[in-house]
Structure 1
């Protein structure tokens, strides 16, 4: 019956309780009785589940709390910082379990893994049961993921593009059946010497033939086996060998090789062994009695009871029993043990009896693994069945000296490598070594064993490639397969040589082609990243970690029908849960959201980018780039130089026949849009912390709820843009009401706000706003309607402008808050670049939005006013662009000829009897929409001058008079056919040519002298047919002056009010020159303090005061 993850965690906690209690009880006895009593009483009082119970019956929560509280006093010497972290984590797990919280598959696995690690650290036998539960959980998870799902080529899954010229790797080499089918289990890649000794585990480790078939004999392993054969055959070799590597460096695998070499199997059945024996000069191996001692499987505090009832307490007792059992079964085992029984029961060093034992039961092979894990649990006193801390090293010395003295005896000990504090493997060493007591044990064992040990080195990087390849793939046998592999290697090598600038320099060397062949079908870059970067992570056990990962990758690619010529970093399917788990399990932070959003998966950014751009989608370029960056950057978050270079990204992505530029484009797009992808120059990396770009996105999103800020920024930019008025006398951006637009004859451009957009052919908000302003000024009708033109935003373009402005404001706010956000110099530079880019986008989109000129038009006085919608283009300023467009379409005239003025006078007609005042014409052209729209009254004045000066004035022009004398019935200062200076506020008259000709003929003259001014009573005639006469306007005042005293407590507000109510009206008058002077006078009875004097004086200089100063009297 299936169990839930919650139940599974509960079972693990029960096993934890059972395994921890003896260890804790044992360690508590090593401290003072008073300290121990205080700890136990304190915990008994605090923990309900511990009240009134002996330690052995305490709940897991109480035991863990006791370990945490009493760490420095009782456990620090035995366990290390890694175990202390596990204790803290398991306390939280126990709390979640007690509160009935749910556990995801990953949560449950991590809880089981932590329980197993802590139990293993204290040599509790319950660790094996938890490990079994962990494997069952993994199998259940993975079975659920792949059940019923058959992956085929294509579909929604990404596969690398096959060039057609290169054979896919799957057609050249096949994975082992267990890898291809996904039937392998994690434990199959974990060599366990103790399991093999017990006859358990998978065949590839338990069976000698299967083991050697899948084992690559590295130079160091070959040397080890040869020397061992020589030693046990009695022809040479070293008596003691110390295997020393980093965490996961292959020590246990080497011990297994020795174990199987002397298993009694025929050498000709073991692949590669015959050659080894030939090299050693050994024709036949003797019968060897093997002993296996694994420190974390033997507890110094719990004696081991054998099947025959023998109770073994110490390592030397276990050694004796196994030696006898290897020679003659249980009876001989008891006989051998009896020789040192007394030393075992008293936990004393057996001394010379150990040498005699090795001699009598030789040839013998003694394999010792995890000795430090055993020794660190011992106490200074002999209070444990396994002996004291000191006795352990006396035994170690006796063992090594005895092995040296006894022929055909070989002792092989594996110890963790020594790392400095700055080493990337220092944490991994702590996992194997433990706390202070563990480090002391390691150092003393090195000193003892080092006196007689033989050197041994782990596998090189190149050898590791072959180890992994042989474990995961069948061997190549077909000559055609070798040829296809070589063709692929040559194609990649040529790609790198032809494009040296796009790839790392070492790829262009001839040796790189050899590396591709050696690692085939896995690209060397994958191995480089895993062995160089990922191996620095705590828990990543080098070869074992690589095997687990690549087995998951190969299984997934095999099922998906991947047809890539090589397996590259870019083809690692991070969207596959099993693959993702194998990578993220070693990373300290939660990477799942990062991968889901920015790296791989159906809804990730790279998939979206590939879908939007066909050139990227053709190669799945964005997805492949993201995978490569993740593999190369995720494990080195704290490195001095984070990330990988763009050339190494290309190396992980590009295949022969593919353009490098496409992947460069994908890289740039990812860097611009990703939330968790950082860039510094040509280096790129992912982190679990959102980039400043993510913060900018969040702030831009927040501005959706603050539209007034966006509108204000747009208005400010438009105001700056329309400071160049172009052909308009004045531009009025964003009037709050029609009263804000002066009513005078000068042509004005009104810029409507974004709340009044326009759409072609519709009765838009822009048209409604323009119509209201055209018809009214405040509550009164507008007089000069032919002086207004409108600029409106395009409704369809507003959304893009809004988004661009929000992004600009977001980046701008980030830079203003850079100190509070504690941005790095790199982030500041990046933010500045992004702000400049967004500002350029805003500047480009502003004219795209303000692209509609709305112009009122009227064909004749009888027709209604309609609106012309004119789309605008060009790079000029907004007002300049409108003015030029209207000028080209003669909807705004910057000049008017006299002939055209004559046509308008006759067509409408505009005559008031036999003449019309110049001022009246100015009024008419500014009032009536059916007349041409003039830039200003000065245009009309120039047209009058031109019409009077025409030589053909009788037919094409008119005459000019200074005034009309009603009493005499004649025009004073009448002129025609000559140049006349006319101004826009001229009080003269435009006279019909036939009327002027009659007067001139009657007076016998063709021209008149320059008029001296109008006669009294002249200059007023009826307006024209059907129009009521208007009274003559009074003379206009030409100067204004005023002063006002401002309230000092609200001077700013009062000054603003004066500017709006007085100054604005004066500035709006044509040609007005307005000067506003602010005078400040302050009387300070007690005198101004020095700081105020300094501040006011400096501010006055900054504000460019013409004069300012303090006086003493």
Structure 2
């Protein structure tokens, strides 16, 4: 779609950024003096940028008829709200009256000092250039006024801000009275005189833009003037609510290509109807309003005029013009097809100031913390929605829209989800994305009300939670982390478990497998090599579980939130609203359920001692409903990948340990597995014994004893009785002849350390010669059963892939997922499935029904 400024061409002052307040703050007296901006001073420019409303057209027609002697209302009172076009109407009358050849008298109450100027004298001065007939501190009387008007007719008298002048005149003494009383008398005389002269007319405004700044008698003054004028005047309203849109459009834009505008409006309205945001009837009405307000969405002008315009300080038409001119200028280079409420850039100082001055300076920090700061909730949501939607800055757009609808001088505030979608969507976006964005904003914003879609000055539940989080000390955080680890160790662990050990001496030096849960991601080698001051013997029994520093911040964030919510439940729950109490309980339940998964993601790096350094094994992310304890997860992982075994294959024992020797002491082999880092880790001594028995039974090797340096073969092909005594050996099968004994000299034994090194261990990766496969294709059929089943299946597949990756140079995996006998919404499909695939850069083809 074309950019709006290619279709709706802003006036030159808007395009060039000449947006000072005086451009929109019309001043009748400046026009009279010839010092007004060109937009008001030059009649041609003024009327080119002015939309002639029905009310204004009517006033001009009445004035023309009266001044040309054709009759009509002699006295008119203009009645408008603050900023409702009153001064603009007076300027229009001034220019037209001069065009018709009439004399024009202007009295603007804010520009005259009551001590120096009498209104009747100013009337004569402007008509004749001198003061003779009306000179004096008292009203001149009706006859003198009639004479003055008749001699200078046609005459148009424009009186503005009379209330302010009379308020000042009340302080000027005139005999036993004051100048205010004389002014009342003059106004009554003037109205009667104007009626008496056929081609004279009085247009007067009484409302004050700042009534509250005067004394308590100001309202009494206003009532008295209205009573005087009420005998002769007729009230006219130049601008109605229906006129505001064309008034704004005419003032801001020099021309609009209606044909191109209609294309954009039709495309948006058709889309919004298709998305189900508006019904057919609602869409038809919206289309009509949008065509009139383009390039602004209809709600932009409506919200500003009706809601913001209800603030006493907001000068309705003038305020709307000023604010929208800033927005248009800011959006000129953005390439957007139309302007939404969410396009108001609250980080722009001028735009923000125009809003803040009506609602209070406290909103400055709220806007910054929730919407405009780089680390604000809105900016975080901009990025969180995913790469597809990131360019549209939906967090900021939606938050800004909610902000703009949060205020009204009448107390009206907030927006519905239906309205929010209508106000923020673009034709390239699914309507459901706004639901997602609002959900994210509710998690991130600190001043978005917990009761509805509007901003408040009091911190919401998010801010309360954050305050509690900020008060949690590092010591409390660590104690809870340790407590969580302790709670997630099984009742009867398969390891001896040590949590955050500080010194090697704390760790027993015995044949049992030990799990050391470390505080940091680095392991001091002394834990492997030392037991206090002595060398550690059973080095291959140590397994280290370390945190992944990439996840420390996420884990501590979850842990901090858990502690904060627990404390809020204990200390503050009764002070919260019902909905906040419900939300605290929900959030606490969610974070409590997630905490173990977070712990598992953090403690995921298993370090296995090797002869030099460590082998690192990464644990997968747990299933959300996993009930495995932490030590069980480590054990199962190492067992599934062959680092811990229940039994050793007899073939491996024969090929790896017996290949280059005639016999091998069984106990020495067992102890070498416990002592040498990087060797196989037996789950138990019993499993090792079963492995030896099985090898003897199946004939892989024989069983015997070493007596006085000679082998006594006891059995092969039968089940031996193994005690793990010093003299027990396994023997090559070809040497196993029961009737004979073969003398074998054994090397002398000097120390335990030497015994350990006597068993030569080829690398585990060295393959035994056997049949090999040079290409593998696996086709799997996996039912979508329970989540835990699917998780276990994919965990197994991941291990298979790791194995294949280490054996083959090239490979690929094709996955076909078929889901049936159910349904998924378009939004869930796009946001959950398609977006996940895109973020992982996975190419895919889709066949959906």
Please say whether Structure 1 and Structure 2 have the same fold, judged by a TM-score greater than 0.5. Answer: yes
Considering only aligned residues, what root-mean-square deviation do their CA atoms show, in Å? 4.9
Q: Distance in 2 between matches of 1:867 and 1:907?
A: 31
> Could you tell me whether the CA contact under 8 Å between 1:896 and 1:943 is conserved in 2?
yes
Q: Secondary structure at the match of 2:254?
A: coil
What is aligned with 1:805? 559
What is aligned with 2:809? none
Q: Secondary structure at the match of 1:205?
A: helix
Q: Secondary structure at the match of 2:555?
A: helix
The Cα of 1:781 is off from its aligned counterpart by 6.9
Q: Distance in 1 between matches of 2:88 and 2:467?
A: 52
What is aligned with 2:518? 753
What is aligned with 1:551? 325
Change (3 A) 1:886 1:296: closer
Q: Distance in 2 between matches of 1:461 and 1:471?
A: 16
Q: Distance in 2 between matches of 1:529 and 1:197?
A: 35
Q: Deviations over 1:599-627 (max 9, x none)?
A: 45889876776578532344454454454
Q: Which runs of 5+ in 2 are unaligned?
A: 623-627, 706-716, 732-737, 739-745, 753-849
Equivalent of 2:159, from 368, 375, 384?
Answer: 368
> Could you tell me whether the CA contact under 8 Å between 1:594 and 1:688 is conserved in 2?
yes
Q: Secondary structure at the match of 1:439?
A: helix
Q: Distance in 1 between matches of 2:41 and 2:679?
A: 105
Superposition pairs of residues 1009-1028 of structure 1, within 5 angstroms: 1026=749
Q: Which has the larger radius of gyration?
A: 1
What is aligned with 2:480? 713
What is aligned with 2:218? 438
Moved more, 899-908 or 650-659: 899-908
What is aligned with 2:665? 909
What is aligned with 2:336? 564
The Cα of 1:527 is off from its aligned counterpart by 0.6
Superposition pairs of residues 786-797 of structure 1, within 5 angstroms: 788-797=542-551
Moved more, 567-576 or 894-903: 894-903
Equivalent of 2:121, from 317, 334, 342?
Answer: 317
> Could you tell me whether the CA contact under 8 Å between 1:852 and 1:872 is conserved in 2?
yes
> Could you tell me whether the CA contact under 8 Å between 2:19 and 2:322 is conserved in 1?
no
Q: Distance in 2 between matches of 1:932 and 1:555?
A: 73
What is aligned with 1:290? 104
Q: Distance in 2 between matches of 1:416 and 1:586?
A: 20
Equivalent of 1:871, from 618, 631, 639?
Answer: 618
Q: Distance in 2 between matches of 1:883 and 1:367?
A: 94
Equivalent of 2:232, from 452, 474, 480?
Answer: 452
Q: Distance in 2 between matches of 1:507 and 1:583?
A: 34
Q: Distance in 2 between matches of 1:652 and 1:930?
A: 64
What is aligned with 1:678? 448
1:495 maps onto 2:271 in alignment: yes
What is aligned with 2:784? none
What is aligned with 1:632? 405
What is aligned with 1:416? 207
Q: Deviations over 1:115-174 (max 9, x none)?
A: xxxxxxxxxxxxxxxxxxxxxxxxxxxxxxxxxxxxxxxxxxxxxxxx3xxx43333342
Change (3 A) 1:849 1:767: farther
1:654 maps onto 2:489 in alignment: no
What is aligned with 1:202? 37
Q: Deviations over 1:822-880 (max 9, x none)?
A: 766666666666656655664333223322334457xxxxxx79865433336343211
Q: Distance in 2 between matches of 1:947 and 1:510?
A: 84
The Cα of 1:927 is off from its aligned counterpart by 7.9
Q: Distance in 1 between matches of 2:40 and 2:568?
A: 58
1:614 maps onto 2:362 in alignment: no
The Cα of 1:887 is off from its aligned counterpart by 3.4
Q: Distance in 2 between matches of 1:669 and 1:658?
A: 17
Q: Distance in 2 between matches of 1:988 and 1:183?
A: 100
> Could you tell me whether the CA contact under 8 Å between 1:726 and 1:883 is conserved in 2?
no
Change (3 A) 1:231 1:707: same
Q: Distance in 2 between matches of 1:608 and 1:657?
A: 22
Q: Deviations over 1:225-276 (max 9, x none)?
A: 333334444544333322222211112222222333322x15xxxxxxxxxx
> Could you tell me whether the CA contact under 8 Å between 1:791 and 1:850 is conserved in 2?
yes
> Could you tell me whether the CA contact under 8 Å between 1:733 and 1:752 is conserved in 2?
yes
Equivalent of 2:604, from 828, 846, 851?
Answer: 851
The Cα of 1:979 is off from its aligned counterpart by 12
The Cα of 1:589 is off from its aligned counterpart by 1.0
Q: Deviations over 1:40-69 (max 9, x none)?
A: xxxxxxxxxxxxxxxxxxxxxxxxxxxxxx
Superposition pairs of residues 452-851 of structure 1, within 5 angstroms: 452-476=232-256, 481-501=257-277, 508-558=282-332, 560=333, 562-574=334-346, 576-589=348-361, 599=371, 613-633=386-406, 635-636=407-408, 642-661=413-432, 668-669=439-440, 672-673=443-444, 678=448, 680=450, 683-685=453-455, 693=462, 707-728=474-495, 730-738=496-504, 740-741=506-507, 747-755=512-520, 757=521, 765-768=522-525, 770-771=527-528, 775-776=530-531, 788-806=542-560, 808-809=562-563, 818=572, 842-851=595-604
Q: Distance in 1 between matches of 2:108 and 2:89?
A: 14
The Cα of 1:908 is off from its aligned counterpart by 4.3
Given the two structures, how large is their TM-score scaled by the length of structure 2?
A: 0.70
> Could you tell me whether the CA contact under 8 Å between 1:744 and 1:784 is conserved in 2?
yes
Q: Deviations over 1:750-802 (max 9, x none)?
A: 332323x2xxxxxxx32526416xx42x6677676665543233344444434
Q: Deviations over 1:536-557 (max 9, x none)?
A: 3343211111222233333444
> Could you tell me whether the CA contact under 8 Å between 2:619 and 2:637 is conserved in 1?
yes
Superposition pairs of residues 156-171 of structure 1, within 5 angstroms: 163=1, 167-171=2-6
Q: Distance in 2 between matches of 1:435 and 1:490?
A: 54
The Cα of 1:739 is off from its aligned counterpart by 5.2
Q: Distance in 1 between matches of 2:25 and 2:679?
A: 95
Q: Secondary structure at the match of 1:521?
A: coil
Q: Which runs of 5+ in 1 are unaligned?
A: 1-162, 267-286, 305-313, 418-427, 758-764, 858-863, 913-920, 960-975, 995-1000, 1002-1022, 1030-1113
> Could you tell me whether the CA contact under 8 Å between 2:142 and 2:192 is conserved in 1?
no
Tell me how many residue pairs correspond in the alignment: 719
Given the two structures, how large is their TM-score scaled by the length of structure 1?
A: 0.55
Q: Distance in 1 between matches of 2:156 and 2:698?
A: 131
> Could you tell me whether the CA contact under 8 Å between 1:749 and 1:791 is conserved in 2?
no
What is aligned with 1:269? none
Q: Deviations over 1:940-995 (max 9, x none)?
A: 89899x899x9999986789xxxxxxxxxxxxxxxx99999x9xxx999999999x
Change (3 A) 1:990 1:532: farther
The Cα of 1:491 is off from its aligned counterpart by 1.8
Superposition pairs of residues 273-284 of structure 1, within 5 angstroms: none
The Cα of 1:668 is off from its aligned counterpart by 5.0
> Could you tell me whether the CA contact under 8 Å between 1:599 and 1:630 is conserved in 2?
no
Q: Secondary structure at the match of 1:436?
A: coil
Q: Distance in 1 between matches of 2:258 and 2:553?
A: 60
Q: Distance in 2 between matches of 1:510 and 1:631?
A: 25
The Cα of 1:357 is off from its aligned counterpart by 5.1
Q: Distance in 2 between matches of 1:463 and 1:781?
A: 93
> Could you tell me whether the CA contact under 8 Å between 2:65 and 2:71 is conserved in 1?
yes
The Cα of 1:303 is off from its aligned counterpart by 1.2
> Could you tell me whether the CA contact under 8 Å between 1:899 and 1:957 is conserved in 2?
no
> Could you tell me whether the CA contact under 8 Å between 1:749 and 1:879 is conserved in 2?
no
> Could you tell me whether the CA contact under 8 Å between 2:28 and 2:90 is conserved in 1?
yes
The Cα of 1:932 is off from its aligned counterpart by 7.1
Q: Distance in 1 between matches of 2:620 and 2:374?
A: 41
Q: Distance in 2 between matches of 1:658 and 1:953?
A: 71
